[in-house]
Chain A
Amino acid sequence: AAGVIQSPRHLIKEKRETATLKCYPIPRHDTVYWYQQGPGQDPQFLISFYEKMQSDKGSIPDRFSAQQFSDYHSELNMSSLELGDSALYFCASRGGKAPPSTDTQYFGPGTRLTVL
């Protein structure tokens, strides 16, 4: 079965640079979520989109922005990178029409961002 695709898988940037992370949800999934996971920590919700509109916003820094495009893929744009932004960034997708018993967020493989 098709899974969530994220690119790139690894990214190394210098402080104050910018980065763009991409996410391709499972086909026919209409909701995309972004989470940040620091080393040894649990994933923290950043932002989500439903049908190309922002649906919820969590602890996302103002330096970050995101959007969902007409083909449902999403991009997370990160500017003025800081050392503390080094983390695993996960995208998850969900099919809004799934029955409750199987209503799950499916996570991609993640993008490991290292800021030097």
Chain B
Amino acid sequence: ELKVEQNPLFLSMQEGKNYTIYCNYSTTSDRLYWYRQDPGKSLESLFVLLSNGAVKQEGRLMASLDTKARLSTLHITAAVHDLSATYFCAVRETSGSRLTFGEGTQLTVNP
């Protein structure tokens, strides 16, 4: 059974600081996704990572994938309040297309 673990689960940081969220998964995968969710809202797709060494950046967020270590990171640069949300990584197994989500990281950026 595929297991996906994120850490930290809660992250409170000051504006302007940098931080990294980690996502580990237990079996081989051909796609890893990062989603953002605001309270009570839908899940917004941020990144899809396909291959080992893949790196994608959008604004202050950068995601990377190490398939050998089964690890993905979401790096936040110079955080701003608008980034406050819950961030989920989700893994798609090679045998199907369902997504298995991590527990989510609730990020709060304080002024």
Contact = CB atoms under 8 A, between A and B. Distances in A.
Contact of B97 (A43, A94, A101, A107): A94
Nearest to A106: B45
A10 B36 CA distance: 21
B96 A56 contact: yes
Interface string B73-111: 000000000000000100000001111111110000000
A42 B42 contact: no
Contact of A107 (B42, B50, B104): B42
Most buried by A among B33, B44, B96, B99: B99
A84 interface: no
Task: Give the interface size bracket for B toward A.
Answer: 20 to 34
A55 B97 contact: yes
Contacts of A94: 97
B41 interface: yes
A48 interface: yes
A104 B33 contact: yes
Contacts, number: 57
A35 B43 CA distance: 11
Nearest to A47: B98
Given A104-B48, A109-B41, A109-B42, A42 B96 contact: no
Interface string A25-38: 00000010101000
Interface string A74-113: 0000000000000010101010000011111111111010
A58 interface: yes
23 contacts: A33-B99, A42-B101, A42-B104, A44-B101, A45-B99, A56-B96, A58-B98, A90-B42, A90-B43, A100-B31, A100-B50, A101-B48, A101-B50, A102-B48, A103-B48, A104-B48, A105-B99, A107-B45, A108-B42, A109-B41, A109-B42, A110-B41, A110-B42
Given A33-B98, A103-B31, A103-B48, 12 more contacts: A31-B97, A42-B101, A43-B101, A45-B98, A48-B97, A55-B96, A56-B96, A101-B48, A104-B48, A105-B45, A110-B41, A112-B40
